[in-house]
Amino acid sequence: MATTTTTMLRETASSHHEALGQSEAVARKMRRRGRESRFWWLVPTLYIVFLMLPIYWLVNMSFKTNTEILGSFSLWPQNPTLRNYMVIFTDPAWYSGYINSIIYVTLNTIISVGVALPAAYAFSRYKFLGDKHLFFWLLTNRMAPPAVFALPFLQLYSSFGLIDTHIAVALAHCLFNVPLAVWILEGFMSGVPKEIDETAYIDGYSFPRFFVKIFMPLIASGIGVAAFFCFMFSWVELLLARTLTTTEAKPIAATMTRTVSASGLDWGVLAAAGVLTIIPGALVIYFVRNYIAKGFALGRV
């Protein structure tokens, strides 16, 4: 399915165009008129405003001093200050949280996509004993609530001496990221015609060489989308990450909650830390923006 189907559909669509003798401009005009409204932009705009308001409020707070936050109510900082950010960038207890988060998220993304690639290939190309049940079993792990696993995980990783290491969090997040990666990649791989594999084998390619040299470039965007989703779910998850770490590998999101309860309520620093956790996500979305819609449509997620 996937890529080929879309291109095929596009081709059919464009051939229809020519058959009907209509230009792209006419089609566009018609579609615009099809909306029967000049105010279509109102809906996305309102929706985005709704999404941005709470985020704006956080950014706003992060540039205020605590006295200003608690003392007077204002829509924008009256005396903008960078103090809150300075606190974070100068205190290792704060900024090491970011480094920890980034390390385990990266590890998890590499592991998840790495093991999911061959598995997704198997699911997309072969029938084998128990394949459908295996696939469903994998998906149930995506659906398993982390709350159920928090305590046994703590003990499992303790017995391997892995508590408070980055690899422990990375492995724990594999529970829901590996099934997701298999699911997405399988969707993309099914879009690559099987003839390509067969031709390559006839040409004398071995399986590993074929997979790395020919197949992986073909599904590069799929790998990108899968990596994006792994990054996303590992970055936002907190329950397991917090349970499995104490100090050395503590994620930034957990540092936030602890500092809040320990040092009273330093709203300004809390807001600044929150803003800084949004930035990596924003960067990643910006880089994959052209693949988001495609990834949702082509993969199974």
Partner 1 sequence: MEKTYNNKAWFLVLPVLVLVAFSAVIPLMTVVNYSVQDTFGNNVFFWAGTEWFEQVLTSSRFHGALIRSLSFSLVILAIQIPLGIFVALNMPRKGIGVPICLVLMALPLLIPWNVVGTIWQVFGRGDIGLLGYTLRTLGISYNYATDPWHAWITVVVMDVWHWTSLVVLLCYAGLVSIPDAYYQAAKIDGASRWSVFRYIQLPKMNRVLLIAVLLRFMDSFMIYTEPFVVTGGGPGSATNFLSIDLVKMAIGQFDLGPAAAMSIVYFLIILALSWVFYTVMTNYDTANR
Partner 2 sequence: MDFSWMAWTTPTALFFLSILTLLLGMGVWEYFSPGGNPRVGILRFETTRGDRLFLSLLGSAFIHLAWLGLVSPNLWWALALSVVYAIGVFRFV
Near partner 1 by CB under 8 A: residue from 89, 110, 236, 247: 236
Distance of closest approach, residue 237 Cβ to partner 1, in angstroms: 7
Q: Please, which residues have CB within 8 angstroms of residue 237's CB and are 6 or more apart in sequence?
A: 146, 173, 176
Among 151, 196, 212, 220, binds partner 1 (CB under 8 A): 151
> Does 17 sit near partner 1 (CB under 8 A)?
yes
Q: Is 161 a binder of partner 1 (CB under 8 A)?
A: no
Question: 103, 166 in Cβ contact below 8 A?
Answer: yes
21 binds partner 1 (CB under 8 A): no
HSE at residue 171, side-chain half, CA atoms within 13 A, is 14
**How near is the Cβ of 135 to partner 1 at its closest, in Å?**
9
Binding to partner 2 by CB under 8 A, coded x per residue (else -) over 139-158, reads: ----------------x--x
Question: What contacts 231, CB < 8 A, 6 or more positions away?
Answer: 105, 109, 284
Give, as ranges, the residues between 167 and 196 that touch partner 1 (CB under 8 A).
171-172, 174-175, 178-179, 182, 190, 193-194
Which are the contacts of 116, defined by CB distance < 8 A and separation ≥ 6? 178, 181, 182, 185, 226
The listed partner (partner 1, partner 2, none) that binds 51, CB under 5 to 8 Å by sort, is: partner 1
CA 192, 193, 194, 198 dihedral sign is negative
Residues that bind partner 2 (CB under 8 A): 129-130, 132-133, 155, 158-160
